Amino acid sequence: MRLTIIIPTRAGDGRTAETCLDALRDQLAPGDEVIVSVDGEHAPERLADRPDIRVVAGPKAGPGGARNRALEQASGEVILFLNDDVVAHEGLLDAHRRAHGERGPGHPAMVLGSAPWEVPADDRVIDRLVRATSMIFFYDRMTDPDSDRDWGFRHAWTLNLSLPASIMRRYDERLAQPMFDDLEWAARVQQETGAPVLYRPGACVTHRHRYTPAMLLRREALLGHQAGELHKVNPPVARDVFGDRYEHTPDRVGDHETQLCAHEAGARAAFADLLAITHDPADSIDDEGVAALFGSCRAWRDAARSIGFLGWAEGRDAQAVQADAEGRLAGSIAARAAS
């Protein structure tokens, strides 16, 4: 069973993607191929001379568009999507290969592998918060031992996900930000093919991506912005995820304006609480403290999402609403200090 491994990356020096590729080299079987798709016109020079990969590049189109470019050249029977900031554990490719072999050609599935966060040498409270909660992903809730459970499209994260090429669909390039592009795609795959999302934790990568509080805040603003876009691109999927919370109607816009006005001061205070301890050692709080901190984050997360959605409703771009949320809830000085 031949694999095509597709790794989208941004234009830059290529160092992050190179680390990802080095961990894959010894796992490739004859016939496997690795395609690095650069979201931008210029491929990193350090990737150009590698004989073990193919590099494609093109106009900036977001991660979905980068994956689509790679798919046009893919020849494997199984497509494996990886983020460029993950490092494969031993046996990753064989675990994905085995998962599809056990299903057989008549029972296709999307196979989600695990992606534990890297624990840095200077492990901080912010690192532990991301690692131990569903701040970014929901791996912490995926404890059901039933290997046949369909986790649904909301768990189809393409940082470590494979599926047969026979059920592959293109990504909708209108979702050009790294938010909901994979979930919208997976929802269509499920709707059109019936393929479940199965979790195989033995197919494991380490996720090497550290967040600062400012990065988390900007991410939540992007979520609100792209939730509005998702309602425009695929309303049934958006309603499945959010109900009508981010529909572009006068009532919903008014709700967000009212809530933001009432809770913005509390959101700033909650974010300041996170800033105050973010650089503390990870073991300076216990599990209950992490849970309490995560709960307190909801105030600024909701406010940032509202700022993002309201900005989208006004026609502002993603970068503008992220900067607005950072300025209103963190302040430029505090955000720089937290970074």
| C-alpha to C-alpha distance for 191 and 122, rounded to whole angstroms | 44
Query: Mean pLDDT, the chain, as a whole number?
Result: 94
* 9/46 same-domain check: yes
Give residue 192's domain range. 3-207
User: Domain count of the chain?
Assistant: 2
* 51/110 same-domain check: yes
Q: For position 104, what pLDDT does the model report?
A: 80
pLDDT above 50 (res 339): no
* 253/155 same-domain check: no
pLDDT tens digits for range 8-57: 998 777 788 899 999 999 999 999 999 999 998 887 778 877 888 999 99
Amino acid in position 193: T
* 186/253 same-domain check: no
- What CATH number does the domain containing 31 carry? 3.90.550.10
What is the distance, to the nearest Å, from the Cα of residue 102 to the centroid of all Cα atoms in its chain? 27
* 276/156 same-domain check: no
* 90/201 same-domain check: yes
Q: Of 169, 188, 207, which closes a domain?
A: 207
Backbone angles phi, psi at 256, to 5 degrees: -65, -40
User: Could you give the 3-state DSSP secondary structure of residue 10?
Assistant: strand
* 126/141 same-domain check: yes
Instruction: Judge whether 51 and 73 are in contact, CB under 8 Å.
Output: no
* 85/136 same-domain check: yes
Residue 36, strand partner residues: 7, 55
What is the distance, to the nearest Å, from the Cα of residue 262 to the centroid of all Cα atoms in its chain? 30
Q: Of 149, 174, 207, which closes a domain?
A: 207
Of 177, 2, 196, 170, nearest to 80 by C-alpha is 2
* 142/186 same-domain check: yes
Q: For position 105, what pLDDT does the model report?
A: 80
Q: For position 52, what pLDDT does the model report?
A: 85
Q: For residues 98-115, give the mean pLDDT.
A: 95
In the block, residue with structure tokens 């790794």 = 7
What is the distance, to the nearest Å, from the Cα of residue 64 to the centroid of all Cα atoms in its chain? 12
Of 129, 106, 109, nearest to 283 by C-alpha is 129
pLDDT tens digits for range 273-319: 999 999 999 999 999 999 999 999 999 999 999 999 999 999 999 99
Distances in Å between the alpha carbon of 253 and those of 228, 257, 312? 11, 6, 10
pLDDT tens digits for range 154-172: 999 999 999 999 999 999 9
Q: For residues 104-129, give the mean pLDDT.
A: 96
Q: With bands split at pLDDT 50, 70 and 90, how would you rate the model's confidence at 337?
A: very low
Residue 79, strand partner residues: 4, 163
Helical residues (DSSP H) of the chain, grouped into ranges:
15-24, 45-48, 62-71, 92-103, 125-132, 181-193, 213-233, 235-242, 250-277, 287-313, 318-329, 332-338
* 190/264 same-domain check: no
Q: With bands split at pLDDT 50, 70 and 90, how would you rate the model's confidence at 109?
A: very high
Backbone angles phi, psi at 242, to 5 degrees: -120, -5
Higher pLDDT, 14 or 74: 74
Q: For position 278, what pLDDT does the model report?
A: 93
Q: For residues 128-155, give the mean pLDDT.
A: 96
Q: For position 48, what pLDDT does the model report?
A: 78
User: Could you give the 3-state DSSP secondary structure of residue 218?
Assistant: helix
Distances in Å between the alpha carbon of 13 and those of 16, 89, 255, 339? 8, 24, 44, 22
* 270/235 same-domain check: yes
Q: With bands split at pLDDT 50, 70 and 90, how would you rate the model's confidence at 331?
A: confident
Q: For position 321, what pLDDT does the model report?
A: 97
In the block, residue with structure tokens 């592009």 = 181
Q: What is the DSSP string of 247-276?
A: --SHHHHHHHHHHHHHHHHHHHHHHHHHHH
Higher pLDDT, 240 or 42: 240
Question: b/e for 305-332, b at 16 or more Cβ within 10 A?
Answer: bbbbbbbbbeebebebbbbbbbebbbee
Of the ranges 106-110, 196-200, 267-271, 331-335, which one carries the lowest mean pLDDT score?
331-335
* 156/290 same-domain check: no
